[in-house]
Structure 1
Amino acid sequence: MSTLPGYDHVPSSTPCLDGTDSAAKVAKSTKRTGPNYVYYRLYTKLGAFESNHALYYNNRFIGRIPSKLFPPPHTVASVKRSLCKLEDLLEPDKALIFTPNSSPAPIEDSTRFSLYAPSGPGLSEQDPIALVVESEKRTEEVSQSEKLPECPDDTDIHYGKSLYYRVYSSDGKGEKEAKTSFDESDISLGRINILFIAPPHTAESLKACIAKVEGLVTPGHALYKDIELFQDMTSDAAMSDTDVISFQGDSYPGSDEGDPVALVNAIANTAADQKVKPTLGKVLSE
């Protein structure tokens, strides 16, 4: 069983004369002081959705739960089950955990989390774990009762980086007005936050995310296969769904608003709610 970084191994030593174990003292000193929490983001393959245990009232996409609510052993499998239960989510056995968010593959179920270490995956809002589930449908709807603080205006932590895109409809009438438009002089240019894209980060996860935000048909719909994603406006061929996209650094597909990615053959999902939630506005487009 492997252990995620964030816990210092304490070597054995001779017990002290006063009956206490010096190694235990060292171990205790490596633990963080004050309450311990697990920080996380929730996703389906279509993108992020809100937590029932949000950290901020104006950014409900990052959740926080006290570590004491997670029973041992603290393996990935156990943490998944606990998170799904605490968030009232279905099918925990099908859930996946990614850490960090940019990881190309989920963490193995047998891997151990160190939930009481001074630092490590899931132990701060700067380094939350990503839980990807089959559906955002919940067993019951729960409203968070306690008063939450306002999310500080720290774009590096809470809003990440922007990705720009244009959507072209299948009817051949050109570009569509983007639901996440931010420039009145160019309303077809959309912008989302890369933190809204579900891991692993591939052309497929980006395409699905834009499709959800724009109210288009999504994976599972018969016409979804016709939608194509181009990495820039001058590309001759569409990206393959399995193409890996790295959002590390400042240059990635859609990083430049002058050269956005393009979603072509877009088909509206008439059965879907076409209205983007107001809470998504700042999180998606800042």
Structure 2
Amino acid sequence: MSTLPGRDHTSSSTPSLDGKGGTDPDAKVGKSTKRTGPSYVYYRLYTKLGALESNHPLYNNDRFIGRIPSKLFAPPHTVASIKRSLCKLEDLSEPDKALVFTPISSLAPKEDSTRLSLYAPFGPGLSEQDPIALVVESEKRSEEVSQSETLPECPDDTNIHYVYYRVYSSEGKGEIKAKTSFDENDISLGRINTLLIAPPHTAGSLKTCIAKVEGLVTPGHASYKDKELFQDMTSDTAMSDTDDISFQGDTYPGSEEGDPVALVNATTNTAVDQKAELTPDGPYSNFTKRARLTLTLGYETNKPTWLSINKDEIVHTDGVIVSVRSPTTNDFWPGYMVINSKGEKGFVQQCVVEFI
């Protein structure tokens, strides 16, 4: 396994005391380590394709980070036990196949026998800056992700680390518009938050995350092997899927707008691909009801929960009515969680859904 620029080869013999990689300036010998208030476990969920929304989100506008009281985790607090508890609380199956990474930047998962302290003042999973990363086999749930009306908004974070990228079509049409475009003068330039990329962080997991966000074919598809990810626009050879990437520093592939990574030979999912994803063994096996959308509406400011839609677009849903708040109006609207033809999942209002 080779290493790409940005991988930190150094390690410190001093353990992190503040959950952020630093030391606690107030720590003193003999000082009590007991918490004086409620204790919580913070975590992020992933499949191999990327981030997964939590059933117990911490913020309304960042539903990928969850928080659960430590008292809900039965002892002993081993990795195996914590996996079972998290999967049960998140309504996720096959906890024995799940992997735990602490910190998220770790290249290898923790052994099941490893013990994690859930009541210490500091440590893995005890702050939102140092959450546990749980990677599961499937995002399939028997119930939809809950929508709470009492969650706070995540404060603006100027320290977000992005990966900037461009996507090039396999049909020879050159660069194509990025679904995460943020500059109206350069719509082919996209970016993703590095926290959306599933660990372990490799060129392969970055490529897979971009493919998922862009609605392209993903691992297991016959055309996936043809997609190549280049470290920058001047690279002569593509990166290997096993190349390690660290997103902890300021310099890594795609860290600069002017020096993005490039995904080449991108292939879009076809109707046949979507049908395959909705089989009984697929991640959306309960999304079996077909529906036609009756309006074209854009919800750019309401992402990621609300889905931008097109008139006459065919979607799949489980048919369960949910009530979701609009971030722009603060009103709650009845509707459905759906999967569109690009594999994107999101909320649409009930009034625009026509079952077929």
The two structures have a TM-score, normalised by structure 1, of 0.84
Q: C-alpha separation between the residues in 2 aligned to 1:77 and 1:146?
A: 33
- Matched residue SS, 1:59: coil
Identify the match of residue 38 of structure 2 among 32, 35, 39: 35
- Matched residue SS, 1:259: coil
Is the contact made by 1:231 and 1:254 (CA closer than 8 Å) also made in structure 2?
A: yes
| 1:80-133 Cα shifts (integer Å, max 9, x gaps) | 010000000011000000011100100111000100000100000111010000
Q: Which residue of 1 aligns with 2:89?
A: 86
Is the contact made by 1:53 and 1:144 (CA closer than 8 Å) also made in structure 2?
A: no
Structure 2 alignment gaps of length 5 or more: 1-14, 18-29, 278-298, 307-356
Q: Which residue of 2 aligns with 1:95?
A: 98
Rate the CA distance shift 1:71–1:218 in 2: closer, same or farther, 3 A. same
Q: C-alpha separation between the residues in 2 aligned to 1:174 and 1:142?
A: 38
The equivalences for 1:192-231 within 5 A come to 192-231=192-231
Is the contact made by 1:162 and 1:192 (CA closer than 8 Å) also made in structure 2?
A: yes
Return the offset for 1:144. Answer: 4.2
Is the contact made by 1:90 and 1:135 (CA closer than 8 Å) also made in structure 2?
A: yes
Is the contact made by 1:6 and 1:117 (CA closer than 8 Å) also made in structure 2?
A: no
Q: C-alpha separation between the residues in 2 aligned to 1:227 and 1:58?
A: 32
Q: Which residue of 1 aligns with 2:156?
A: 153
Q: Which residue of 2 aligns with 1:13?
A: none
Return the offset for 1:270. Answer: 2.7
Is the contact made by 2:53 and 2:145 (CA closer than 8 Å) also made in structure 1?
A: no
Identity across the alignment (%): 80
The one-letter code matched in structure 1 to 2:217 is: V
Structure with the higher helix share, 1 or 2 = 1
Q: C-alpha separation between the residues in 1 aligned to 2:241 and 2:234?
A: 19
Number of aligned residue pairs: 254
- Matched residue SS, 2:83: helix
Q: Which residue of 1 aligns with 2:244?
A: 244
Return the offset for 1:154. Answer: 2.5
Is the contact made by 1:6 and 1:118 (CA closer than 8 Å) also made in structure 2?
A: no
Q: C-alpha separation between the residues in 1 aligned to 2:219 and 2:304?
A: 24
Q: Which residue of 2 aligns with 1:176?
A: 176
The two structures have a TM-score, normalised by structure 2, of 0.68
Rate the CA distance shift 1:204–1:252 in 2: closer, same or farther, 3 A. same
Structure 1 alignment gaps of length 5 or more: 8-25, 282-286
Q: Which residue of 1 aligns with 2:54?
A: 51
- Matched residue SS, 1:55: coil
The structure whose RCO (Cα within 8 Å, separation 6+) is larger is 1
The one-letter code matched in structure 2 to 1:228 is: E
- Matched residue SS, 1:78: helix
Q: Which residue of 2 aligns with 1:72?
A: 75
The equivalences for 1:270-285 within 5 A come to 270-271=270-271, 272=274, 278-279=303-304
Q: C-alpha separation between the residues in 2 aligned to 1:154 and 1:231?
A: 26
Q: C-alpha separation between the residues in 2 aligned to 1:65 and 1:105?
A: 24
Q: C-alpha separation between the residues in 1 aligned to 2:170 and 2:238?
A: 15
Return the offset for 1:246. Answer: 1.3
Is the contact made by 1:38 and 1:64 (CA closer than 8 Å) also made in structure 2?
A: yes
Return the offset for 1:256. Answer: 1.2
